[in-house]
Amino acid sequence: MTDNRALVGDIGGTNARFALVEKGTTVLQHIQVLPCADYSNLDEAVGTYLSQVGANGIDEVGIAVACPVSGPRIKLTNAHWDFDRQVMQKTLGLNVFKVVNDFTAMALGVRHVPADQRIRLGGEEGAAGRPLLVMGPGTGLGMSGLVPTANNWVPLSTEGGHVGLAACDEREAIVLAHLQKRFGRVSAERALCGEGLVNIYLALRARDGLEALDLQAADITRLALSGEDALALETLDCFFGWLGRVAGDAALTLGALGGVYLCGGILPRVLPPLQKSRFRECFEDKGRMSRLLHPVPVWVVTDPYTGLLGSAAALANPEVS
């Protein structure tokens, strides 16, 4: 007997998150997180999950994957799972099997995040019927957009995190020059991700004539939040300012007057200093276009299951193939 529910998943390099939803909805049920390393491939993990939650007759599945989705073959970037979409659909016995990039799912999911899982960083009400910008500083810098149609929303798959990074003050110029010596061309992602925190920190140490330290992004945020290291605090300040500038540039490019959503694992961990930072000032600092961005709301998304919400939204959205 066919179940009236669908399975949704969000597959990263380490964990596979699964949930059930009533078909056509985004209300998550029976959320579970399974380690990818424990399973040979997607079908084995799906079978385990469905057995654990006692679901039979599932014939619709929507999955977000942390890798490019541009053909029948899906190879996870940071995990060993590798499958053909058509073969997997037949193996699982599905009528519907949608696979989308994880950041496409993130973009689709933000509109369904509960209000208590969003923290506003200034602005007013977003302009109705205008595009939304979704950015995610995490392992990299993901960027997407949502464009409204007559009856739905269309996600934009972009590589906006790889636009060139510009300096707007003396400190940024010093950091940028340091990064140019290391990398040549410097993209926004070189500064605005976990490794970007390390890159900024090392550049500031070099500026001050200090030797490099072998630190991870988590070490830098810990040192900054504890107040133990003035350069770690300065690193966060530089990071937040640049994030504001890049988000403002992207909002102008996309015409995202409906609002900006910041996702990813870094920002929820550093919310207090972010809320006190220059982010909003730098976001709006666009010369003659500052007035255009002044009312645009920016939200930090703290919901850990935004990707699952987006997978459910993709299943229900005929604009997403």
pLDDT of res. 78: 76
Mean pLDDT (the chain) is: 93
Confidence of residue 288 (pLDDT cuts 50, 70, 90): very high
Question: Domain 118-302 belongs to what topology?
Answer: Hexokinase; domain 1 (3.40.367)
Q: Please report the pLDDT score of residue 1 as a whole number.
A: 59
Which stretch, 158-162, 212-216, 231-235, has highest mean pLDDT?
Answer: 231-235
pLDDT-based confidence at residue 320 (cuts at 50, 70, 90): confident
The amino acid sitting at 30 is H
Question: What CA–CA distance (Å, rounded) separates 30 from 85?
Answer: 25
Task: State the average pLDDT over residues 42-52.
Answer: 95
Strand 5-11 relative to strand 15-22: parallel, antiparallel, unpaired?
A: antiparallel
Model pTM?
0.89
- Residues with Cβ within 8 Å of 4's Cβ and at least 6 positions away in sequence, in order, are 22, 23
Say which residue, 139 or 220, is predicted with more confidence. Answer: 220
pLDDT at 45 over 70: yes
Q: Is the dihedral of CA 41, 46, 52, 56 positive or negative?
A: negative
Q: Which tens digits make up the pLDDT trace of 5-42?
A: 999 999 988 899 999 999 999 999 999 999 999 999 99
pLDDT of 321 over the 70 cut: yes
Please give the pLDDT value at position 100.
Answer: 92
Quick one: what percent of the chain has pLDDT higher than 90? 81
DSSP lists the bridge partners of residue 62 as 8, 98
pLDDT at 172 over 80: yes
pLDDT greater than 90 at residue 139: no
78-136 pLDDT, tens digit per residue, is 789 999 999 999 999 999 999 998 888 999 999 999 999 999 999 998 888 899 999 98
- The answer, yes or no, to whether residue 2 has pLDDT greater than 90, is no
Structural domain boundaries in the chain: 5-108+305-316, 118-302
The DSSP code for 129 is: T
Pairwise CA distance, residues 101 & 83, whole Å: 15
Answer yes or no: is pLDDT of 191 > 90. Answer: yes
**CATH architecture, domain defined by 5-108+305-316:** 2-Layer Sandwich (3.30)
